Structure 1
Amino acid sequence: MTIKNTLIGATMLALAAAPTLLSAETLKVGSTATGVPFTFLNVESNEVQGMMVDLINAVGEEAGFDPQVEAVDFSSLIPALTSGRIDIISAAMLITESRKKAISFSDPILPYGEGWVVSDDFEGGISADFSELKGKVVGVQQGTVYLERLQKAGNFGELRVYDSLADILAEVQRGRIAAGMGDRPIISYQLSQDRYDGIKLANYDSQYAGDIAIGVRKDDDELMQRINDALAKLKKNGTIDDLAKKWGLL
């Protein structure tokens, strides 16, 4: 084979590979800035990072798309997705029947559950009927599955709704609320960082255990299949477990 033919052959191979490289589309991904360690804003880089950011980047690499992660308030994630502002939700979002009516979820990624944060001088545990908190002021995060449940309980002195779990932890620490309900893994991680003195996780058995997953619009079946195929590979090769360990979730 002549040098000319060799160069032509190499060029043809490069051109054949180019469509694969160029076909990696950019998809907008909504993640919250307050869901540490799943998703949170790094104030130094002004970028959202965390376990679910690492995961969607790994999924994108497997599925052939470039994730562009944007900070979105938790309560605005589903509206942002259905309106087309974002293409994917990758955050600490539980699969629920009500949410499944609005969006499609990927295969489950990690088990999840709720917890109560209380002051260190809170004695005993909290039961499933929350009787220990009867007549007290408690807090919950806007947009979570816990809000409706606590509203239905109806035995609190007052139920206050906050924009973020960080606000709830600070309010318990200041003594402004007796307890706050939120995602147990996130509460546990926050408390492990020694940022909140004088508060703790209450002894409480999760009543709303579920799974977190990636969300897409209901008509994005092809994208969902790509994401699920990628997740299957990442589960099999241990990447998901490695990321969970990296962020203190296993």
Structure 2
Amino acid sequence: MSKKTIAIALTVALAFSLLLAGCGGKTPQQAKVLKIGTDAAFAPFEFQDEKSKEYIGFDIDLIKAIGKQMGYEVKVQGMGFDGLIPALEAGQIDAAVSGMTITEERGKKVNFSKPYYTSGLSIVVKQDNAAIKEFKDLEGKRLAVQIGTTGANFAKKVKDAKVREFNTAPEAFLELKAGGVDAVINDLPVNEYYIAKTGSKDAKIVGKPLNSENYGIATAKKNTELAQKIDKALEDLKKSGEYDKIYEKWFGRKPVK
């Protein structure tokens, strides 16, 4: 090989190496995305900001923190509560976070994370209602619930009750305000948030909360790896104190430990 040929080869090699350096030497990796489904009508857990229309709430902040801990970009998709599990089964979303109570029946269809919030059912009635003071007083009454919830399941077991199911919690509260039902049955923090936002002139919470319910993040039954990663991230957030910060932001107090 002549000196001239060697010089040309070296020049070509140098140009090629500079081209690779300018391109980073490899194709940029795309960010890992975690597709999240939620029913954004369950304040303070998930709802839409009136101005920005962005999804906000305790669940939203928590799942974003979990995603960040795992190295994922979180994209939230709104849908009806009763469509969350079918969406998981169809692979349309990776996980669902929507104030979803961990139940044996749901556990047959999805994997649940370790509990991230403990709740319970409670009753909301109009301020002037003196007939309903506790759960046993609901017999024969007109009840409003959100479709697909544990509140709806409970209401259907109340003797002689006339149950009306609504797509969202706000719709159930509006029906109470209009006088179309006697009471709303929903999770305590949701009822408390409604009273806090609307004032106590029109409605009140009566009786002691019924039972104890744990909320969990749902993933597809076959996606055990993701379920394990979410559990690990949740545990890390609790250890670091980040979970406590998110909790206090939305509930005005630190979680009971």
1:145-164 to 2 correspondences below 5 Å: 145-156=150-161, 158-164=162-168
Pairing partner for 2:100 from 93, 110, 135: 93
Q: Look up the SS of the partner of 1:132 in the other structure.
A: helix
Paired amino acid for 1:44:
K
User: Contact 2:35/2:94 (CA < 8 Å) preserved in 1?
Assistant: yes
Return the alpha-carbon distance in structure 2 between the equivalents of residues 149 and 114 of structure 1. Answer: 9
Structure-1 residue corresponding to 2:75: 68
CA displacement at 1:96 relative to structure 2: 0.6
User: Contact 1:139/1:177 (CA < 8 Å) preserved in 2?
Assistant: yes
Return the alpha-carbon distance in structure 1 between the equivalents of residues 215 and 209 of structure 2. Answer: 18
Aligned length: 233
Query: Residues 194 and 147 (structure 1 numbering): CA distance in 2 closer, same or farther, change over 3 Å?
Result: closer
Unaligned runs of 5+ in 1: 1-7
Paired amino acid for 1:245:
E
Structure-2 residue corresponding to 1:117: 124
CA displacement at 1:24 relative to structure 2: 4.0
User: Contact 2:32/2:73 (CA < 8 Å) preserved in 1?
Assistant: yes
User: Contact 1:172/1:180 (CA < 8 Å) preserved in 2?
Assistant: yes
Structure-2 residue corresponding to 1:133: 138
2:180 maps to 1:176: yes
Task: Show CA shifts across 1:175-234 (max 9, x none).
Answer: 111101011101101211126741111123313x11111111111111111111100110
Moved over 3 A (4+): 21-24, 124-127
User: Contact 1:126/1:204 (CA < 8 Å) preserved in 2?
Assistant: no
| TM-score, normalised via structure 2 length | 0.83
Structure-1 residue corresponding to 2:229: 226
Query: Residues 105 and 114 (structure 1 numbering): CA distance in 2 closer, same or farther, change over 3 Å?
Result: same
Structure-1 residue corresponding to 2:14: none
| TM-score, normalised via structure 1 length | 0.85
Larger Rg: 2
Return the alpha-carbon distance in structure 1 between the equivalents of residues 133 and 29 of structure 2. Answer: 55
2:248 maps to 1:245: yes
CA displacement at 1:134 relative to structure 2: 2.4
Return the alpha-carbon distance in structure 2 between the equivalents of residues 101 and 56 of structure 1. Answer: 23
CA displacement at 1:85 relative to structure 2: 1.1
Structure-2 residue corresponding to 1:5: none
User: Contact 2:59/2:97 (CA < 8 Å) preserved in 1?
Assistant: yes
Paired amino acid for 1:184:
L
RMSD: 2.3
Paired amino acid for 2:129:
F
User: Contact 1:185/1:249 (CA < 8 Å) preserved in 2?
Assistant: no
CA displacement at 1:102 relative to structure 2: 0.5
Paired amino acid for 2:229:
R
Unaligned runs of 5+ in 2: 1-16
Q: Look up the SS of the partner of 1:246 in the other structure.
A: helix
Structure-1 residue corresponding to 2:190: 186
